[in-house]
């Protein structure tokens, strides 16, 4: 299984070991993105389809480790961020989807308009069919994490660990303790295997956020 630690100035993929010290090829679709040392910042709280595409080859089993810090903008009661995995190709425009890929999304919405999006804190898994079409596979309420949305907690990076296996199982570990062994999982349809893609896409909706390498800042 390959290990992918997301960052801009250093990306390490092991088994086989690969170190890249230059900024990978990247594209800005929308939003106001900037780099500050090892962190990637999205600075536009009004951007609804803010995306940055990073050319990172992925093949079958992978481990993704990164952290996300809230930087503001969700005071209006809505904000979200996520990551597209195994993206085959994507347009350099503000679009809903990202080619053929899977989007793992974390959402906060005090008054959701869609009936399949829970009020408050929730997570979604989408299958992206194209840049303009996605299918919602799972929508999970996360009320147990609502107490974490305090000013002090929001100021700290939240670690994310995601494992994808050759069988099509994808595990998303508990961000409060990624090493605890507790995870949510879903399975890719066998027709989608093997999992392959040349891009990872980070995105936000209605908030500012920053992304860093590894489980810790």
Strand order in the sheet with 78-87: 26-30, 50-59, 196-205, 78-87, 101-109, 120-130, 133-141
Q: What would the DSSP string read from start to end of 32-45?
A: -EEEETTEEEE--T
Cα dist from 28 to 6, 53, 94, whole Å: 16, 7, 9
Cα dist from 83 to 8, 88, 106, 150, whole Å: 15, 14, 9, 23
CA distance 38 to 210: 10
Q: Please give the chain's pLDDT, 217 residues, in tens.
A: 555 444 332 233 332 222 333 567 888 889 999 998 878 999 999 999 999 999 999 988 999 999 999 999 999 999 999 999 999 987 888 899 999 999 999 999 999 999 999 999 999 999 999 999 999 999 999 998 888 778 888 899 999 999 999 899 999 999 988 888 999 999 988 888 889 999 999 999 999 999 998 877 6
CA-atom Rg of the chain in angstroms: 16
CATH number of 43's domain? 2.60.120.560
In the block, tokens 């596979």 appear at: 137
In the block, tokens 């392959």 appear at: 196
- HSE at residue 112, side-chain half, CA atoms within 13 A, is 16
- Name the token pair of 37: 């040392």
* Domain count along the chain: 1
- Name the token pair of 75: 């005071």
Sign of CA dihedral 172, 25, 93, 207: positive
Which residues constitute the domain of residue 146?
A: 2-213
- Name the token pair of 95: 């679009």
């Amino acid at each position: 299984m390959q290990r992918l630690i997301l960052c801009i100035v250093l990306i390490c993929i092991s088994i086989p070991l690969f170190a890249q010290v230059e900024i990978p090829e990247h594209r800005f679709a929308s939003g106001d993105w900037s780099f500050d040392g090892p962190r990637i910042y999205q600075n536009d709280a009004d951007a609804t389809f803010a995306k940055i595409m990073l050319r990172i080859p992925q093949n079958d089993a992978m481990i993704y480790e990164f952290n996300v810090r809230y930087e503001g903008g969700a005071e209006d009661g809505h904000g979200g961020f996520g990551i597209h995995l195994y993206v085959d190709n994507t347009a350099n425009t503000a679009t809903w989807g990202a080619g053929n890929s899977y989007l793992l999304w974390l959402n906060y919405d005090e008054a959701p308009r869609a009936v399949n999006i829970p009020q408050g804190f929730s997570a979604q898994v989408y299958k992206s069919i194209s840049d303009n079409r996605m299918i919602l596979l799972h929508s999970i309420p996360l009320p147990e994490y609502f107490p974490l949305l305090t000013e002090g907690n929001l100021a700290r990076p939240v670690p994310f660990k995601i494992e994808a296996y050759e069988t099509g199982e994808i595990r998303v570990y508990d961000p409060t303790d990624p090493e605890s062994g507790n995870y949510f999982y879903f399975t890719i349809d066998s027709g989608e295997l093997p999992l392959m893609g040349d891009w990872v896409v980070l995105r936000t909706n209605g908030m500012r956020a920053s992304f860093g390498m590894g489980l810790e800042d």
